[in-house]
Each structure stands twice: as structure tokens, then as C-alpha cells.
Structure 1
């Protein structure tokens, strides 16, 4: 008696049914070709310029990014120019965009591109991931858009589109949900024009499949959308629960001497890392002046006396409600180095304005000068 034949293992079902996959790809690309926004980084094939746009667009609106992108490229037109520039010049060019770790990583990555790749940005997502500041999204975006590699990407817009098209459950940040979204993005990107397809997904999320008031009647893939079919567009994906911004108060030393103000550059890490500021130390809201002076003295390594108040500047950051208490201070010695800062300088207002400084601290400097900080 012959042994029973083993059943041939069946192939796993495809993640996306082939006919649906091709329909989604073709309709999204057709919609992109017909109605895409005319953005300046879409008119270039320069991988460096495309990379820069992707970094700037993280956490920042397109309308804000456009003038920064254009000015930054004028100032640092190539990877080599960016790599050779002092970090403080790069941070100065970034001022106002926020999330300054992006600029620091951009600078470090440019230096590695020059040192390791001869000034040419690597063309694969795997190689790009070895550079500072390149996560899975940025590597996929640059590899696909600049080099045509079928590398997937998932950002907020893409996550929303895929969540609705495929009725993906789970809150933003949920591991199983994120894995599913990346699987879907990987399954869709393979085919013609992977870079344009990735941009089509992002464009669709930004202009049609919006978080609120999505334009379903204008959607080219409405018939393929499970959330639309089941009346769940408004509930997918669920809103991300955001923590209330943390209150933070800084005592800011406004120290003048012979027409100059004391400026300090922070350590590379942390809030406003690597940026210049009027020297500051974190305090409680109700910290009295002598205790604030002691905090500033510890940071500067020099005796500090508070002479008066020059006002308070308040700024709302993404994760912090920031209060900058401007204290006119003086001391017996005029410090030139300090334990808590990378560098100190005594600067005229014009010199100070050219330094890499956060928008919050720039407003504090303006307020201090308007309040008579340089009047002896």
C-alpha cells in the first residue's frame, strides 16, 4: 500500500488582492497627476534638496516650510556646503522652524555623507538608515522619491489613508496597528513610479482624506474604501490622545556691559540644544529673586545679583507652556566661560541677532532690549 500523499501547502492569501491593489495604485497616481500641488521640491531631482524638504516637513506645515527650504538651499546649496558649515550657522538658518534636533542631525548626516559616501547621498533605504536623523519614514521617502526605490513610507497622512481604505483598527502608536500599516504600504509601493505613488498617498491624505471634513465625494478611491463603505470614515483612525503641555519657567539673565549682552550656547542635547540664548536656568513659577540668582550663578559659575525685572515672555511650544522671566542682573566678574554652557560671548544686539537662537529666546532678547536692557 503506497503511503498517503502529503497535501501541498497552500500559499498564503495575498495581503492585498491583486485587482484591488492595481486599482488603488492607478487611481491614486491618476489623481496625483491631475491635482498635485506645485511644490518647489517636486521640481527638482536633486537628492539633497528632496532630503532637506522631507526633514523640514516633519512636524511643520507646507506653507511654513517653502520659504525656509528656499533660503536654506541658497545658504547651503550642496551637501558639501552644509557639512563644511559651522553648526551655529546651520542652527541660525533653521531658526523659527523648531525641533532643532532635526537641524543638528541634518548637519551630522551631511558630514557623514561627505566622509563615507564622497558627498553623494546613498540611494537605498537600508544605507540611508545608517545616517543620523534617518528613520524608516525619511529613508523610504528619500529612497523612493529621489532614487526610485520601491521603499514604503508611513507618515500621519499615509496612516490615515490606509486606516480608512483597509479599515485598520487601533489607536496611533499601537504596535499591531503600525505593523499592519507598514505591511500595507510595502504591498502597495511595488510597481511603476514608487516615488510618485508614495507622494500620491501623502498628497491624498493632505488634501482629500483629511482628518476632519474629508472630501469623500471627490475621492478617486472611494469605491475601494472600507471605512466609507461601512460609514466609519469619521472614526478611523481614532484621535491621538495628547498630553497637556508641561509648564516650564526659566529665569533669564539679562546682563549688560559696555553696550553688550551676555549670550550663552547650550549643550547639544535637550531643549534648545546647541542654540544661543540669554543665559537661563529653570526655576519654579514662584521662585524669589535671590533663589533665581543662585540658580543662574550656578549655571554661569559666577556671582549674580538681580537688579530688577524686565518683563516676562510666554511661548506655547508643542509639549511645553514656556515662561521666560527676564531679570536684569550684574556681578563682580564678567564671565567668559561657564560650567553649564558650551560657550559664552558678550555681543552687541546686531551680533546676537545673527546667532542660532530659538524663536522664543529671540523674542526674549527683543523684549529685553525694548525694556532698556542696555541702559547702564
Structure 2
């Protein structure tokens, strides 16, 4: 613990010189910082930039987010995945409007009570926007600290994260504590890398790094092996009728809950029978290229079909034009390649 206090000064100096110029670093607005932090969860920085700009152009304030309709919200998030994050953001925005007069609470405990905001996000927003001396411990920080201390604790368990929150809290500077959080994250993202060999020659705190001293950086952090993903096998249909394409709504609970999708069924149901159940009575069925999509805990293996419908009934499917779909309806990434191939077929007909 005593040695950790020595990393603060060189790390902060390094950060001031080497930090990337990112849009969310040019503001102290807690709303904009919060949006960036939620978007950056499980998404690369470069991928987030255009989403961040578009989101804030459409919903520039907490009030705008609280009042947005669901289709607008999901369309803005389309491609980022983990749609529960943006739904929770809206719930938190409503809380802020109703409980805090539309102003982000400059209080760590109150931030933690907002929907979808856990210790990391509360620490990031609190320290960067409000200069609260609270840590923000994410995967980058856990990796950096595990290597500096050669700590073999399993970083996938909550106890380890909590212990590091407590230890980093002890070395938080009184001024600009958000800079230390960002410096640790920046070091993990650009120097103390997660995949491959870390760039120890560029590290401002390597003289204090126990893993570097032992030449054992690749042994840290320690993380329990993930359970194997389950596998699901589906038939997915790109159905057209005149100039309209069929989409359906997923159940309100479970994977991709409440989102739009291409019609699909379990693979053990024959395509003609599945289509009949969906209200598609007659049509030409043509195989398309199969697709695979990996979620956190499950893999989808999809047999895909282009269906030119000649007779249908009014069922639960929604029939819309290609333009309407692409402008107004969010389609999860799992179906994107199938959609793109189907649209190409339409354009070549």
C-alpha cells in the first residue's frame, strides 16, 4: 500500500502530456460524461465517437433523453448492443428530472441510486464532473493495478474490485481526482495492454511495477475462465411482399427484449411450417448465406432464407418499406448482415 502512493505524481504528469483528445474530455458536463461512459462499456473508443456525436445532437440534455420516444432512443443506440443500457439511461434521466430538478446530483451516494449506474460509472462521473475523490475501477484499472502490485486475486469477482476501489481511494489526490481515474484507464488502454505484450518501455510507473521487476507482466491480471457459451440454432427469414419487408417484435423479457428482429424460429421447425405460423401462406423460399452471431453468453447459428411472399394474412409481423426500416427502426447487429444481403437481392430484382 505504501508503494502505491508513489505512482500518483508520475502518472498524472504522463496523462497531461499523453492523453488522447477525446470529445468527452473537453467538457465537465455530467450528462455528456455519463453518456460517454455508458457507451464506452464493451465498445471501442473509435467506434463510440460517431454514436456520441449523433446521440448528443439529437438528445442534448437530460430532459431530452427523459422525454425521447423508444424508437428514437433505440435507433440512436443501434449497433452499440446491450440495449438495456440505453433503456436504463432513460430511466435514470427520468429520475434526475423527477427527483433532482433536472440536475445531475453532485453526490456519490445519490449517483449510485440512479438506474443503471454502478460503482464504476458513479466514480467516473462523480470524479470527472464534480471532482469527488472517488475511484472508478474498470477492467483497464484492474489490469494496471494487478500488474503494479503483482496481485494474483481473481479480477472477475466482485470482492477483488471492491478491494481495489478501497485501495485506490487511499491514493486519490484532493485536486482533480478525475484525472487519476482517467490516467489509470488511459494507461490500461494505451500502454498496459490487455492483449499482447504491454508497452512497458513507455510506462511512467514501471519503476514501481512489481510484475515488470519480476518479468512476469503476462501473468497478470488473473481471471477465472469463462463458462462456455450455450448455442442456439435458428432459421431466419428475410420476407418481402410487394415493396415491403417483414419485421417482428421480440418478447419483452430475455435476450434483445422488446427489440425489432427479422422473423425467425428454432431450426428444428421446417421453414414452410414456420412461415405458415407467421401468417405467410405462399412464397418462394431461397436459401441465403448462413450467419453466426456471438453474444456474451450464447451463440446464434442461423440458417437464412429470402422469401418472396405471394400470399399472407394479417399476423403479428410488421410490414414496412426498406427506407422506413432503415430510418426509424433499430435492428440488432445479429440481423444486420442478413438484412444487407436481403436488400441487395431486392435491389438486383
Q: Quick check: TM above 0.5?
A: yes
- Counterpart of 2:69 in structure 1 is 86
Q: Secondary structure at the match of 1:371?
A: helix
Q: Distance in 1 between matches of 2:119 and 2:96?
A: 18
Q: CA deviation at 1:306?
A: 5.9
Whether contact under 8 Å (2:150, 2:210) holds in the other structure is yes
Q: Which position in structure 1 is the counterpart of 2:145?
A: 162
Residue 259 in structure 1 maps to residue 240 in structure 2: no
RMSD of the alignment, in Å? 2.5
Q: State the shift of 1:290 in Å.
A: 4.2
Deviations 1:184-215 (A, max 9, x none): 22222253211111001101111111122112
Take 1:349 and 1:195, find their aligned partners in 2: how far apart are those partners?
45
Distance across 1 between alignment mates of 2:11 and 2:88: 33
Matches within 5 A, 1:1-12: none
Give the one of 180, 190, 203 matched to 1:207: 190
Q: Give the equivalent residue in structure 1 for 2:285.
A: 308
Q: Which of 330, 341, 347 lines up with 1:367 in the alignment?
A: 341
**Counterparts of 1:27 and 1:288, CA distance in 2:** 64
Name the counterpart of 1:185.
168
Q: Of 258, 261, 268, which residue of structure 2 is paired with 1:277? A: 261
SS in 1 for 2:160: helix
More divergent stretch after superposition (355-364 vs 134-143)? 355-364
Structure 2 residue 313 is matched with structure 1 residue 333: yes
> Rg bigger for which structure?
1
Q: Aligned ranges for residues 49-60 of structure 1 at < 5 Å?
A: 49-60=32-43
Q: Is the CA contact (8 Å cut-off) linking 1:289 and 1:306 kept in structure 2?
A: no
Residues 143 and 172 (structure 1), Cα distance of their counterparts in 2 relative to 1, 3 Å cut: same
Residue 245 of structure 1 contacts residue 321 of structure 1 at CA under 8 Å; is this kept in 2? no
Partner of 1:323: 302
Comparing 243-252 and 51-60, the one that deviates more: 243-252
2:271 matched to 1:289?
yes
Alignment of 1:225-240 (within 5 A): 225-238=209-222, 240=224
Matches of 1:273 and 1:252 in 2, distance apart? 17
- After superposition, the Cα gap between the structure-2 partners of 1:231 and 1:27, relative to the gap in structure 1 and judged at 3 Å, is same
CA contact (8 A) 1:256 1:374 kept: no
Matched residue of 1:189: which SS? coil
What runs of 5+ residues in structure 1 fail to find an aligned partner? Answer: 1-15, 339-343
Cα deviations across residues 295-321 of structure 1 (Å, max 9, x unaligned)? Answer: xx2xx5x46556413414514334324
Where 2:170 maps in the other structure, the secondary structure is: helix
**Are 1:42 and 2:25 an aligned pair?**
yes
CA distance in 2, matches of 1:219, 1:307: 61
CA pair 79-324 structure 1, distance change in 2 beyond 3 A: farther
Asked whether 1:349 is paired with 2:322, we answer yes
Provide Cα deviations, 1:122-142, integer angstroms capped at 9, x if missing partner.
222211121221111111111
